[in-house]
Structure 1
Amino acid sequence: MSTAEGRADEDFRLGAPPPLIESGLLDYVLPRFSLKTGIRVEVVALDAGGDILLAPDAEGPRVFDGRQAKWRMQINTPSHEGAARFADWLTSEIGQRTVTSYEVEGAAPFDLPKADEREVAEVSFDGDADLGHDLSVAHCARCHAVSEATRMNAMASTPSFAVLRAMADWDRRFQTFYILNPHPAFTQVEDVTEPFPINRPSPIAPMEITIDDLQAILAYVSGVEPADLGAPIEHQ
């Protein structure tokens, strides 16, 4: 596959309502993302089936605030690599700085939620949490501390489930873990991921799960007590 074809596969649709489109923010932000990644973004109406939605009532984390609304990001296609890369970029320091640097007549109409004002969305999953625990121990405990009982078997450099659970976007990280390095090298999700190339087999015992297994893991992780990471660092 050529580089151009690979990038075309990552192109995605972003759903947004008229007020956000007319604000000019997307015309400012999206070309900068595309220039950095080569991924093209098509802006569509909210009801047109976007891979990602930006809207005040979207089901996801609050990513920036406007004068009239607080804007949230909803990932409708978590398995889409281009959409996942945009979500990571928009919530990164560079993406946030791009949003806040947009100006209209010398004023910045969009700002980021202050750390002590960030809203925590209630997330629930319908999977079997007990099964999710067993699957996490079987597949994830070789690297992560899934629970206190598996702490001594985990890699010190790998974040525990409790630390990951404390992150604002923990649910997105778990829903898309199989496309986040280093997981693609050894993870197979039935009917979602492509088989390993014959000339590049998994370097370790592969992790093979189904979508139902992933839902069970999410149900388990949603009940994990988040680690206390302390107050956010404030920069002067």
Structure 2
Amino acid sequence: MRALIICLTLVSNASPAAAQDALGLAAPEAVADTGLLKHILPRFSLKTGIRVAPDADGPMQLANTAPGVPVFEAGGTTYFLRIQNDPRQQRFLDWLNSEIGKTTVDSFAPDGVQLFSARFDEVQTLSAPTFSGNAARGARLSLTHCGRCHVIGPQNRMKGLGSTPSFPVLRSLSDWDLRFQEFFVRKPHAAFTQIKDVTPPFDPERPSPIVPMRITLQDLDAILAFVAQTEAADLGAPLQSQ
């Protein structure tokens, strides 16, 4: 059985020497061909600062048989992640088993069809997300970068594009934290957003259609902290997100 090798390189929250080390993940063809890894790995990179690159000697393995820790299932097959005694590998496993990791796996639905489930029928206890960034700095960054299209609050309540939801409206969604944490891979943001050490450079043949949004992971942490403090819009009945 062929396998796709994905290499994860730690680029933040670590020493320069550690940032050069590579973590390899071998995935069965049945998983790799669906596009799941292309869906979850950029989001893992955003959350943890780990970059993706090929590696033929990866120590981590995703397999459809034990041993290992079950991380998701598809079509009655449970997939297990096998890791070694390495805190960086444990970090990847912890992320997959976290609420945001499971939500990321569950949200992979090409053509509107969910292919994988990370829930295993367990009862989940949801807790409000917390972010450690500087909210005041996040407010300034949001106004500068996001305020071009979105109303972020009273600061620019008469600005923004009519076709884009405001920050208070987005804050009303049950998955608002996931939407903001992975905004850079959602349309149309991917076409004009660059996050240092996370996103690849723009294709020279497909440059940004507007002035690019260039931020760091620390900038994003600040924006998330600001949004977490933003009062959600009261729109009456619960919103149905897509």
Q: Which residue of 2 aligns with 1:71?
A: none
Give me the identity figure in percent: 38
Q: Which residue of 2 aligns with 1:53?
A: 96
Q: Which letter does structure 2 place at the counterpart of 1:43?
A: F
After TM superposition, give the deviation of residue 5 of structure 1 in Å. Answer: 8.8
After TM superposition, give the deviation of residue 186 of structure 1 in Å. Answer: 0.4
Q: Which residue of 1 aligns with 2:230?
A: 224
1:143-222 equivalent positions in 2, closer than 5 A: 143-222=149-228
| TM-score using structure 2 length | 0.58
Structure 1 residues 204 and 51, CA gap change in structure 2 (3 angstroms) = farther
Structure 1 residues 189 and 144, CA gap change in structure 2 (3 angstroms) = same
Maintained 8 Å contact 2:106/2:114: no
Q: Which residue of 2 aligns with 1:64?
A: none
Q: Which letter does structure 1 place at the counterpart of 2:175?
A: D
Q: 2:101 aligns with which of 75, 78, 85?
A: 75
Maintained 8 Å contact 2:141/2:219: yes
Number of residues of Structure 1 aligned to a counterpart in Structure 2: 177
Maintained 8 Å contact 2:184/2:193: yes
Q: Which residue of 1 aligns with 2:107?
A: 88
Q: Which residue of 1 aligns with 2:81?
A: 44
After TM superposition, give the deviation of residue 125 of structure 1 in Å. Answer: 1.0
Q: Which residue of 1 aligns with 2:17?
A: none
Q: Name the structure where helix makes up a greater proportion of residues.
A: 1
Counterparts of 2:91 and 2:161, CA distance in 1: 43
Structure 1 residues 29 and 133, CA gap change in structure 2 (3 angstroms) = farther
Structure 1 residues 27 and 190, CA gap change in structure 2 (3 angstroms) = closer
1:129-148 equivalent positions in 2, closer than 5 A: 129-148=135-154
Maintained 8 Å contact 1:14/1:52: no
Maintained 8 Å contact 2:196/2:217: yes
Indicate yes or no: 2:38 matched with 1:10. Answer: yes
1:88-107 equivalent positions in 2, closer than 5 A: 88-89=107-108, 94-95=113-114
Q: Name the structure where strand makes up a greater proportion of residues.
A: 2
SS at match of 2:220: helix
Counterparts of 2:125 and 2:34, CA distance in 1: 36
Q: Which residue of 2 aligns with 1:28?
A: 75
Structure 1 residues 42 and 119, CA gap change in structure 2 (3 angstroms) = closer
After TM superposition, give the deviation of residue 93 of structure 1 in Å. Answer: 7.9
| TM-score using structure 1 length | 0.60
Maintained 8 Å contact 2:171/2:230: yes
Q: Which letter does structure 1 place at the counterpart of 2:107?
A: D
Describe the superposition over 1:107-162 as per-residue Cα deviations: whole angstroms up to 9, x where unpaired.
Answer: xx959x8xxxx965222111111110000000001111111231221111111111
SS at match of 1:26: strand
Counterparts of 2:91 and 2:140, CA distance in 1: 39
Which runs of 5 or more structure 2 residues have no equivalent in the other structure?
A: 1-31, 41-60, 84-89
SS at match of 2:184: helix
After TM superposition, give the deviation of residue 180 of structure 1 in Å. Answer: 0.7
Maintained 8 Å contact 2:36/2:108: no
SS at match of 1:123: coil
After TM superposition, give the deviation of residue 11 of structure 1 in Å. Answer: 7.3
Counterparts of 2:144 and 2:164, CA distance in 1: 16
Q: Which letter does structure 1 place at the counterpart of 2:73?
A: L
210-219 or 121-130: bigger deviation = 121-130
Q: Which letter does structure 2 place at the counterpart of 1:49?
A: F
